[in-house]
Amino acid sequence: MHRVQTSFVLSRGGALAFLSLFLALAAGSQAHAGAGATGLAFLKLGASARGVAMGDAMTGAIHGAAATFYNPAGLRAGSSSGRSSDILFMHKEWIQDTRTEFLAARMSLGGRHSLGVSVLTNAVSDIEIRTQPGESQGTFSSRDLGVGLSYCYEFEPGLRAGITARYLYEQILVDDAQGAALDAGIQYDGLADGLTVGAVVANLGSMSKFRSEPLKLPALMRAGAAYAFDLPDLSSAAVLAADVEHVFAESQPLVRVGGEWAFKNTFFLRSGYQFGSTGRGLGLGGGIQYGVFGVDYGFSRLAEDLGNGHTIAVRVEF
C-alpha cells in the first residue's frame, strides 16, 4: 500500500513539474514580450464546433482530436463513447470572408501513451490594396498555417499531461514569416466524481521577422474545470465548464463558461459565453452522433460590425 501511494505521489509530482517547467517558460516569454498586440490571432480562436458552441471553455472539458488545439492532455481523456481514436475536420466562416479549417487525428499507442497530429489554416481573401486615395489597385490574400504534433502521457488513471509542438507560417501579400511554438497542458479528474480540472500554457515560441519587424506570438495561460453528471430521469447527461484565459500581451483576461446536454449520447445541445471579449460573446450549437460518425455545429455571435460566425465539424471515431 505504501509503495502504491508513493508511486502516485511521484507521478502527480512529475505531472506538476512538467507543467511548472512550461509555466516558467511562459513567465520568461511574458517578461520579454512587452506591450502591444500579437500576430497570428487564429491561434487564440476555437478549433471545433463543440468548443465554439460552448464559448471555448474547453481546458477541462476537451477530449479527442480537438485536444491537439485546446489542451494536449485531453488526448487520453475519456469520452462518452469510450473510443480512444478519432479524426476531426472543422470548417469555420467568420468575420467578413475569413475562413478557418482544422484537421486533426488522435490515436492511442497502448499503455499510457497517445499521439495526435493537426493542421490548422486560416485565410482572408480579396483584401483591397490601397496606396493612395481613390480606387483600389487590386486585391490580395492573407494566409496562416499551423502544423502540430502532440503527445500525451497518463501518469496515473485520471492524471495526464501533454505537449504540442507546432510549425507556424504566415503570408500577407508577398511578405511572410515562419516559426515554431509549444503548448503544454495537464488534466486531473481525481478530485471528485465527474470533475476534471486542467491548465494550459500555449503559443510559447518565436517567429522570424515580418519585413523588418518581429512578429509576436499570442502566448497565453489558461485554466479551467468541467463537471459532468448524469440526468437519469431524462435519459441524458450534462457537462458544465468554465475557463479563465490570459494572453500575456493583453491586459484584459477572458472568462468563458459553457454547457452541454446530451440525450442518449446521440443528440447534443450546447451554449456558452465569453466575458471580456471585444469580438465574441454568445455561443450556441448542437450535434448528432450516429455510431462512429458525428456532426457538430457552432454559432458565435460577434460584435455588431463583424457579423456572425458559423462552424461545422465532422468526426469519425474508431
Query: pLDDT digit of tens for each residue in the chain (318 aa)?
Result: 444 344 444 455 555 555 555 555 544 444 444 444 567 888 988 899 999 999 999 999 999 999 999 999 999 887 666 678 999 999 999 876 789 999 999 998 878 999 999 999 998 876 666 566 666 666 667 889 999 999 999 999 899 999 999 999 998 877 888 999 999 999 999 899 999 999 999 999 999 887 777 788 999 999 999 999 999 999 999 999 999 999 998 878 899 999 999 999 999 999 999 998 777 889 999 999 999 999 999 999 887 667 788 999 999 998
Q: Which residues contact 299 (CB under 8 A, 6 or more apart)?
A: 52, 53, 283, 284, 285, 308, 309, 310, 311
| Structural domain harbouring 100 | 2-317
CATH at residue 277: 2.40.160.60
- Any bridge partners for residue 176, and if so which? 171
Geometric angle at alpha carbon 104, from 99 and 107, rounded to 5°:
170
Which single residue is written with the C-alpha cell 469510450? 82
Greatest distance between any 2 Cα atoms in the chain: 79
Q: How many domains does the chain have?
A: 1
Burial class (CB in 10 A: 0-12, 13-18, 19+), 306: middle
Cβ(237)–Cβ(209) under 8 Å? no
